[in-house]
Structure 1
């Protein structure tokens, strides 16, 4: 579904990623793990062409990805960035419909699944995004990405800094999107408990390089201690 080979990525003259490879099969939930500053968020930003320069092979369903982030969204990549980046002065409805601009069907609509995953959003469509809690804004960011009609959903730290009760809802939503609906997911996440419960495969980054990857059973305590313990 998504194949990256020998990926280098730069901010200005600073090289952040060095020869990273990532192969994600259709329907897989692939977790990206590592210490803070390892390059995890940069990897997702590179997939969306949001860094200054990216080199290396990048294929989605065997086709080269587009030259800019809008074309990549239209190709089937949905992206939920770290920090959510919802529009605070837009209503919940307006925030979700923004995602529809990248939908390949050309339809700007609220996906039916949003009502099942995040009923609060549907019950409060006219509330401004800026008055929502952090967890509700994260739900909104995921709903906006789903309105893009993605084949692959890229999630950057979706449970970071969120109240525990909503963390459970978001984890459940991600698991359901993957396991019940078959959506391919690339997940950057520090919560190893959730990663082990939800992911099929993992890639571990350190200093912008892939240092381990494989089925989730290979994400051992020894590996975590070596590459993630501060």
Structure 2
């Protein structure tokens, strides 16, 4: 569904990705692993065209999109749940969700699955997003991304900073988005146990490139220790 071949990416003169080559299987979760600061967020931002420039091939469903501006990549079917959630605090829950659909497709409706996944949001549509807890804001960020009607969902550490009693709910929702909606998901996550439970394949990132990749059952404890231990 989504592939990168020999992609370099830059912030100004600083090169952040080096010959990045990965492939996300259609309708599966690809776990993106690695220590902090190795290029995982930059990988997602590069897919969206949010770095200063990139080189190499980025393909969605076999169609090269590396020349597309960001809004055209969104309209082609890529949605993003960023690290830190980045909801607009003064917008209501309703406005935050609708903004996602308007940005990608021009649609102004809440996706049918949102009430099922996030009943709290539906019961509080007129509350400002800024008053929500971290877990509720993460739910809102996911609902906003779903309003884009994506084919591919990029998720950057979706369980980071979430209260422990909500983490399992977020994890289960991500798995449902994959299994029930058939979404292809690139999941940047430090929780290796969750990645092993949710993902079909993985890519281990080090110094801006993929140093290990393959089916999730080939992710060994030795790999995790080598590339993720502090």
TM superposition score category, shorter chain reference:
over 0.9
My pick for the range that moved more, 88-97 or 109-118, is 109-118
> Could you tell me which residue of structure 2 aligns to residue 67 of structure 1?
68
Note if contact 2:48-2:73 (Cα within 8 Å) is conserved in structure 1: yes
User: Residues 1-230 of structure 1: matches in 2 within 5 Å?
Assistant: 1-65=1-65, 66-104=67-105, 106-230=106-230
Please provide the CA RMSD for this pair. Answer: 0.9
Question: Cα distance, 1:134 vs. partner?
Answer: 0.9
Moved beyond 4 Å, runs of 4+? none
Note if contact 2:71-2:104 (Cα within 8 Å) is conserved in structure 1: no
Deviations 1:135-163 (A, max 9, x none): 11111000000000000000000000100
My pick for the range that moved more, 59-68 or 136-145, is 59-68
Q: The residue matched to 1:190 in structure 2 has which SS?
A: coil
Question: Cα distance, 1:223 vs. partner?
Answer: 0.3
Q: The residue matched to 1:135 in structure 2 has which SS?
A: helix
Question: TM-score scaled by structure 1?
Answer: 0.97
Question: Cα distance, 1:24 vs. partner?
Answer: 1.2
Structure 2: distance between partners of 1:73 and 1:186: 15
My pick for the range that moved more, 66-75 or 116-125, is 66-75
Structure 2: distance between partners of 1:171 and 1:117: 12
Deviations 1:100-155 (A, max 9, x none): 11344x42111111111111100100000000011111110000000000000000
Q: How many corresponding residue pairs?
A: 229
Gaps of 5+ in 2: none
Structure 1: distance between partners of 2:49 and 2:104: 18
Note if contact 2:85-2:137 (Cα within 8 Å) is conserved in structure 1: yes
Question: TM-score scaled by structure 2?
Answer: 0.97
Deviations 1:7-59 (A, max 9, x none): 10111111010001111121010010000011000000000011111110011
